[in-house]
């Protein structure tokens, strides 16, 4: 399975796309259309938000698991775009009947709350993700199976809209939403979604029982995880590897390999702690060279240096067995590359990652400056093609995290990739019936 080891945007789309060749099913287990997985195939760009990247591979089935929150309109829009691009979605794309549905009042409440005085502004993607998960955990959500049950849908929308309108008016003075209009739109969407709906836990477990292998496609990243990230500046789901079991219905002991993705540097979108952030010109250079603008919202990403203490934390939380380093080529022009190798609080070294956002304010990064290579790594396909300093950079990451680098991405296209031999072998000879 694949997880983001930073704050999301590590380039999971491309890596899932490359690896999906060796898997028969790709499954999403958390998040929603807040994710933006960009894949470039023969110069054509695909941005997938809800649909797993496996859909871009012939013969690969894609599953949106129960842990995902599904915006029906966003889903249908994406399906239409995929069909327009000539990709097959019918019969190979499945949506869990237990996934929760995002409705317009979720977005209304999120937008109002984000801008309300006295509230902590998270800098969300404004997709209604948080309020939809709130309703799920509050046991008042609407699941995909309920969306298809039109009587239940009508009743649910009438009651929920009445309640949400009152809350939004009282708290934020928001304009009310119209329940009848919403019902008509969502009943029409339900009809189009019905052919995709399945009990995906059964589907996935049957696939495993038949000896097929499944690739879990994590969304967001470790530091955005609701429990283990920089709370409250996180997303509302379990983005770490633990979320894959509950978010799909696959037992934890079926997971035998966790691949952690990290950029060769670091980025974050939205508010919240970012110890190795580089606010000066060098940060702007990373933003421009790395085209660090959100795939979903277009917002400029905050940029900074690789943070090894956070990577070690991500390894611990996820059980990362291989690292994949992306966007190495973005560092090509730098004369020297700072890497955060340790953290200090009040001037004293610490191995702890603070539980409070305020704790991060006191954190100081200890930097080690690595020599740059000032040569192009773009498109390299063998470790031996990399300049010596780039090889040493990767070796340093391996030594400091204790995890081997299995792949390095050296450009946006499918074939701009380096595979470590052992990793490639492991991917090709995967244990049947494992994730």
Candidate segments 3-11, 65-73, 92-100, 310-318, binder of ligand IMP by CB under 6 A: 3-11
Site string for ligand IMP, 33-72 (x = CB under 6 A): -xxx------------------------------------
Nearer to ligand IMP, 143 or 302 (CB): 302
Give percent helix, percent strand, percent coil of the chain, each to the nearest 5. 40, 20, 40
**C-alpha distances out from residue 175 to 105, 109, 172, Å:** 11, 11, 9
Please report whether residue 108 would count as binding ligand IMP according to CB under 6 A: no
Of the candidate residues 6, 62, 125, 241, the single one contacting ligand IMP (CB under 6 A): 125
Q: What is the DSSP letter of 31?
A: B
Q: Cβ–Cβ contacts within 10 Å for residue 139, how many? A: 6
The smaller minimum CB distance to ligand IMP, of residues 239 and 408, is found at 239
Q: CB of 343: closest distance to ligand IMP in angstroms?
A: 21
In the shown chain, the binding pattern of residues 235 to 274 toward ligand IMP, with x for contact by CB under 6 A and - for none, equals xx--------------------------------xx----
2 binds ligand IMP (CB under 6 A): no
Instruction: Map tokens 């796309």 to a residue.
Output: 17
- DSSP for 373-420, please give it: --S--TT--SGGGS-HHHHHHHHHHHHHHT--EEEEE-SSBTT-EEE-
Applying CB under 6 A, which part among 4-12, 145-153, 180-188, 380-388 lies near ligand IMP?
A: 4-12
Q: In this chain, which of 11, 65, 104, 130 binds ligand IMP, going by CB under 6 A?
A: 130
* Nearest distance, CB of residue 4 and ligand IMP, angstroms: 8
Q: Which of 124, 165, 200, 276 binds ligand IMP (CB under 6 A)?
A: 124
Asked if 20 interacts with ligand IMP (CB under 6 A), we say no
Q: Is residue 326 involved in binding ligand IMP (CB under 6 A)?
A: no
Q: In whole angstroms, what is the distance from residue 245 CA to residue 393 CA?
A: 34
Q: What is the CA radius of gyration of the chain?
A: 22
Q: Which is nearer to ligand IMP, 111 or 145 (CB)?
A: 111
Nearer to ligand IMP, 36 or 54 (CB): 36
Is 113 a binding residue for ligand IMP by CB under 6 A? The answer is no
**Which lies closer to ligand IMP via its Cβ, residue 135 or residue 332?**
135
**Residue 256 in tokens:** 């035998």
Phi, psi of 406 (to 5 degrees): -90, -25
Under rule CB under 6 A, which residues in 177-236 are in contact with ligand IMP? 219-220, 224, 233, 235-236
Total number of residues binding ligand IMP (CB under 6 A)?
21
The residue count of the chain comes to 435
Cβ nearer to ligand IMP, comparing 13 with 332: 13
Among 122, 193, 264, 308, binds ligand IMP (CB under 6 A): 122
Nearer to ligand IMP, 153 or 239 (CB): 239
Interior/surface letters 337-371, b for 16+ CB within 10 angstroms, e for the rest = bbbbbebeeeeeebeebbeebeebeebbbeeeebe
d(CA 231, CA 211): 39
Query: Does 8 sit near ligand IMP (CB under 6 A)?
Result: yes
Smallest separation (angstroms) from ligand IMP to the CB of 12: 9
Query: Which tokens sit at 354?
Result: 């603070």
Tell me the closest approach of the beta carbon of residue 7 to ligand IMP, in angstroms. 6
User: How many whole angstroms separate alpha carbon 79 and alpha carbon 189?
Assistant: 12
At residue 50, φ and ψ (nearest 5 deg) are -115, -40
Task: Give CA–CA dist 378/393, Å, rounded.
Answer: 16
Q: Does 300 bind ligand IMP (CB under 6 A)?
A: no
Phi, psi of 401 (to 5 degrees): -100, -20
- For the bound state, the minimum distance from the C-beta of residue 239 to ligand IMP, rounded and expressed in Å, comes to 9
- Residue found under tokens 């380093």: 325
Residue 236: exposed, middle, or buried by beta-carbon count in 10 A (0-12, 13-18, 19+)?
buried
Among candidates 20, 12, 1, 8, which has minimal Cα distance to 48? Answer: 12
Q: Which residues are catalytic?
A: 9, 37
- When the beta carbons of 132 and 250 are compared against ligand IMP, the nearer one is 132
Q: How does 198-210 read in b/e, with b if 16+ C-beta sit within 10 Å? A: bbbbebbbebbee
Sites of contact with ligand IMP (CB under 6 A):
7-9, 34-36, 122-125, 127, 129-130, 219-220, 224, 233, 235-236, 269-270
């Amino acid at each position: 399975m694949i997880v983001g080891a930073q704050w999301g945007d590590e380039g999971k789309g491309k890596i899932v796309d490359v690896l999906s060749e060796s898997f028969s099913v790709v499954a999403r287990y958390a998040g929603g259309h807040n994710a933006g997985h960009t894949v470039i195939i023969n110069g054509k760009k695909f941005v997938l938000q809800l649909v797993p990247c496996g859909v871009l591979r012939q013969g690969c089935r894609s599953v949106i698991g129960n842990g995902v929150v599904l915006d029906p309109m966003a889903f249908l829009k994406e399906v239409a775009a995929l069909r327009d691009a000539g990709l097959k979605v019918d019969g190979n794309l499945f949506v869990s009947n237990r996934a929760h549905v995002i409705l317009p009042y979720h977005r209304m409440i999120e937008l109002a709350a984000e801008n309300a005085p006295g509230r902590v502004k998270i800098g969300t993607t404004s997709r209604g993700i948080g309020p939809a998960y709130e309703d799920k955990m509050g046991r008042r959500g609407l699941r995909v199976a309920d969306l298809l049950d039109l009587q239940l849908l009508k009743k649910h929308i009438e009651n929920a809209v009445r309640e949400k309108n009152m809350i939004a008016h009282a708290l934020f003075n928001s304009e009310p939403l119209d329940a009848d209009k919403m019902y008509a739109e969502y009943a029409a969407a339900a009809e189009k979604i019905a052919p995709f709906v399945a009990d995906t836990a059964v589907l996935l477990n049957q696939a495993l029982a038949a000896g097929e292998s499944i690739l879990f496609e994590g969304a967001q990243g470790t530091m955005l995880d609701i429990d283990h990230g920089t709370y409250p500046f996180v997303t509302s789901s379990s983005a770490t590897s633990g979320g894959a079991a509950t978010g799909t219905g696959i037992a934890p002991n079926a997971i035998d390999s966790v691949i952690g993705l990290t950029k060769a540097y670091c980025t974050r979108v939205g508010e919240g702690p970012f110890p190795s952030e580089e606010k000066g010109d060098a940060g702007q250079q990373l933003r421009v060279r790395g085209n660090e603008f959100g795939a979903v919202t277009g917002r400029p990403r905050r940029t900074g240096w690789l943070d090894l203490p956070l990577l070690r934390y991500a390894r611990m939380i996820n059980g990362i067995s291989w690292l994949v380093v992306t966007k190495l080529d973005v560092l090509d022009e730098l004369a020297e590359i700072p890497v955060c190798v340790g953290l200090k609080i009040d001037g004293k070294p610490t191995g702890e990652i603070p539980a409070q956002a305020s704790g991060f304010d006191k954190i100081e990064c200890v930097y080690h400056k690595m020599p740059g290579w000032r040569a192009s790594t773009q498109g390299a396909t063998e470790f031996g093609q990399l300049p010596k300093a780039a090889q040493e950079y990767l070796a340093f990451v391996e030594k400091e995290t204790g995890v081997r680098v299995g792949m390095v991405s050296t450009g946006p296209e499918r074939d701009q990739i380096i595979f470590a031999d052992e990793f490639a072998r492991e991917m090709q000879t995967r244990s049947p019936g494992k994730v």
